[in-house]
Amino acid sequence: MTRNAAIVVGGLCLATWMTAAPCQAQLFTLPKEQMIELTAQNPFERFADGRPKVPDALIERTRGLSAEEVFAILPKEGFRNQYAGDFRVLHPGTKLVGRAFTLQFMPMRPDLEGVVNTRAKAAGLDRMNNQTAIDMLQPGDVLVVDLFGQEENGTIVGDNLFYYIMRTTKTGGLVVDGSIRDLEGIQRMDMPAYYRAAHPSAIGNVIISGINVPVPSARRP
């Protein structure tokens, strides 16, 4: 990670990157009760789905910290896996701070795709896709996406969805262990983002396996 820090708070951890122990793939969101159980140490209010609502004032205070200052605290609290480097930075020198909203993908499996889309239709949706999760974002959120480092077809957003995220989250941003498309257009927009690659392909050959579930920050060798 470069000197311009990305600090993501809330969700299922407090971290320089949204990082958590690997878990079995989920299908959609955690039940509210399980979200509260997994974040039982949260001292703040919660969103309707149980996600911790880290106060705006704390987020603004965090904005003044460097990655080194945050990293000096986390190991003392038992968080030893909170750093991931080698991301490309959309706007060097711009700090990314916000509440983690996680989105987990997995390689396409036709058997699971059927289950996912059946659940989506039961929830009143045509199908489950990246737009579905993006529509759930709140002001101050940072979309943290586990696309297992995929470049081709691992493009979580193009310029239109990037603009939509910027307008919805206001002070948020994007972290994706995957890629983005329409880089030329995205670079003109004033929202911080960390990503692995830029590729002209559309997202494909993947399915959503979890929304607001624990995700790793990056693949490990």
Q: Match 């106060």 to its residue by tokens.
A: 55
Q: Identity (one letter) of the amino acid at 50?
A: G
Mean pLDDT of the chain: 85
pLDDT at 120: 80
Report pLDDT digits (tens) over 156-187. Answer: 999 999 999 999 999 789 999 999 999 999 99
pLDDT at 220 over 90: no
Q: Is the pLDDT of residue 19 over 60?
A: no
Distance CA 206, CA 19 (A): 21
Total-model pTM: 0.86
Q: Are 143 and 178 in contact (CB under 8 A)?
A: no
Q: Where are the domains of the chain?
A: 6-211
pLDDT above 70 as % of the chain: 85
Residues 198-210 have pLDDT tens digits of: 999 999 999 998 8
CA distance 67 to 10: 16
User: What per-residue confidence (pLDDT) applies to 2?
Assistant: 45
CATH class of 6-211: alpha beta
Percent of the chain with pLDDT over 90: 55
**According to the model, what pLDDT value does residue 15 have?**
33
User: What separation, in Å, do the N-terminal and C-terminal C-alpha atoms of the chain show?
Assistant: 17
Tokens coding 47: 């969103």
Q: What is the pLDDT of residue 217?
A: 58
Position 118 confidence tier, pLDDT thresholds 50, 70, 90: confident
Alpha carbons 85 and 217: distance in angstroms, whole number: 9
- Is a pLDDT exceeding 50 seen at residue 21? no
Residue 116 — φ and ψ, nearest 5°? -60, -50
Residue, of 171 and 49, whose pLDDT is higher: 49
Task: Return the pLDDT at 129.
Answer: 85
